[in-house]
Amino acid sequence: MVKRSWTEVRLETLVSNYRIYRSLVPKEQRVMAVVKADAYGHGDTATALALQKEGVTDFAVSNITEAVGLRKVGIRGQILILGYTPPENAKDLVTYKITQALLSESYAEKMADKGITAQFAIDTGMNRIGLDADDPAACERIIRAYRDRFTLTGMFTHFCVADTPAEDAFTDAQKAKFFAVADRVKDLEFPCVHCMNSAGGLWHNAAGEGDLVRLGIILYGLKPDCENTLPEGIRPALSWKSVVSLLKTVHPGETIGYGRTYRAEADRVIATVPTGYADGYNRLISNNGYVMIKGQRAPVVGRVCMDQMTVDVTGIPGVAEGDEVVLLGEGLDADEMASWVGSIGYEVLCDIGKRVERRYVN
Ligand SMILES: *Cc1c(COP(=O)(O)O)cnc(C)c1O
């Protein structure tokens, strides 16, 4: 363990978030854990294994590399790839028993007759992947045409505004379009017909529609949209920490860092922190955010560098070199950090770099 820049993921919190969410979803629906992008930066192996122990049998990822990685560490249930797998990698889908999303009719044709287990993506308004639900007859024709050329286990769609109450009518329309397609092929008795993301599963799921709910961001303790209110007890599972590598006082008129973007007006006590944009700490936080030291806010002053940054600890008594610095954690979550840079908590988490050591704590 090198105490330079590291994350601490509390698996207990992930499990507790899962249990709370699980308790709010109708019992008849399974909860599929969305662990794409290395479980939103939390580490997909540790996350998936902890949830498998909790009884989770369905996982979703974005690509074949992630899927095979999970199989190799012992994830046994369904692993669904939500996006594109190049046709030349089709045999890995079969070898590792991975379920592939079928993105379009032409993609299905390229992947057919290879023994692949698959589910059709249905496009109900996202306009990204899937068969066009505005033509349900064509969807039905395609699904029936391919049912014997794959092991077809179902279909799914994705909501684009399920986290936005002002857009509820659009989500309702997406749901209606999806089930209009699903109803046309009801006789095929697919076991995996699903449309809910984290937000949908909580706020558009009163009737428990679909066989499963795809739980992503709320598993990790963050909001789908910054305006949302999360269920009681859901908390971020990840903290990101660094240390004070040096303390110094800068005097009036002196500047800090590249571009001399910060100028001291009075004596300021400055702490250098060995985390930078190469660790995924967004450079737009330059002079535009803060870290926590000893439970207090220390503003980022000057530009965030590749490997280091500088923060103002003038008002915080007793700071010493080697002290822990909280970049994300108690009192400062990824949703707030995202607001400084015009992004979303999802991106903040996914951006945490590979060279930031991952630790698991309880
Ligand atoms: C990422 C993703 C999810 C999870 O979304 P959250 O907003 O994190 O819950 C669900 N379904 C699909 C198709 C996705 O791509």
Q: Give catalytic status of residue 354 as yes or no.
A: no
pLDDT digits (tens, 9 = 90+) for 93-151: 999 999 999 999 999 999 999 999 999 999 999 999 999 999 999 999 999 999 999 99
Residue whose token pair is 């610095």: 325
Distance between CA 146 and CA 119 in Å, rounded? Answer: 11
Mean of per-residue pLDDT scores for the chain: 98
pLDDT of residue 362: 81
* CB 197 less than 6 A from any atom of ligand 1: yes
Cα-to-centroid distance, 215 and ligand 1 (Å): 7
Quick count: other Cβ atoms within 10 Å of Cβ 25?
18
**Portion of the chain with pLDDT greater than 90, in percent:** 99
The answer to whether the CB of 200 is under 6 A from ligand 1 is no
Angle, vertex CA 331, rays to CA 326 and CA 334, nearest 5: 75
Token pair belonging to 66? 């992630």
* pLDDT single digits (tens) 303-345: 999 999 999 999 999 999 999 999 999 999 999 999 999 999 9
CA dist., res. 38 & res. 51, Å (int): 14
- Residue 235: C-alpha distances to residues 22, 179, 334, 335, 339 (Å): 15, 33, 11, 12, 18
Structure tokens at 54: 């909790």
Q: Ligand 1 pocket check: which of 158, 159, 335, 348 to mutate, most ligand atoms within 8 Å of Cβ? A: 158
Q: pLDDT, tens digit, for every residue of 185-204?
A: 999 999 999 999 999 999 99
Sorted by sequence, the CB contacts under 8 Å of residue 176 that are 6+ apart come out as none
Q: What is the pLDDT of residue 204?
A: 98
Active site residue 97: no
pLDDT digits (tens, 9 = 90+) for 29-73: 999 999 999 999 999 999 999 999 999 999 999 999 999 999 999
Residue pair 41/350 in contact by the 8 Å Cβ criterion: yes
What are the tens digits of pLDDT across the range 230-265?
999 999 999 999 999 999 999 999 999 999 999 999
